[in-house]
Structure 1
């Protein structure tokens, strides 16, 4: 499970500078917390544990692709499918990252945290 809130494709969420520790639960409602979209409308996401931002990345935002599909799977409580070749996350994690300096180098990290000790 990734600690990224569910956002509409037109909505943006600033990248946190620290790990949030947020863990969604299967079947739980979408995360809540303020977030502003590129159109100025309020979106909801949970930026818990977010520390002060480095000015170099303060303008960087992330847009989650395929939001309706993510919402549907969130309601079902699953994010994985089993295929003949093995397990994989579905829907695939796809985001647009905006506001980056084209001359700068970045490190993008994503942490998957198990919700239980079961191995499927």
Structure 2
């Protein structure tokens, strides 16, 4: 499996705001995630549920910018900026690095988010 092509595909979906479908298509069933706020998920279904809830709380998208990605073997790192107005009146502006570990089938088995500010 060509991981570089998989990274390009998932990053394109994320850039377009199609995050739930990106998880559904590119995550292994037993994938785990963690972020710099110590929020974790265990399994693709938990991540889909988390992303559906998050996207449902967005009032408007000011921008999703994909800056760069690198691939080294079965690991990738993608840099994004996310800018959202939320339904509760708050604003989210995240500049983050998404580190992914991939399996031989081209599925994400681990994803970690790092604050790039």
Please say whether Structure 1 and Structure 2 have the same fold, judged by a TM-score greater than 0.5: no
Q: Higher RCO, 1 or 2 (CA under 8 Å, sep at least 6)?
A: 1
Q: TM-score range by the shorter chain?
A: 0.3 to 0.5
Q: TM-score, normalised by structure 2?
A: 0.32
Greater share of helix = 2
Larger CA Rg, structure 1 vs 2: 1
Greater share of strand = 2
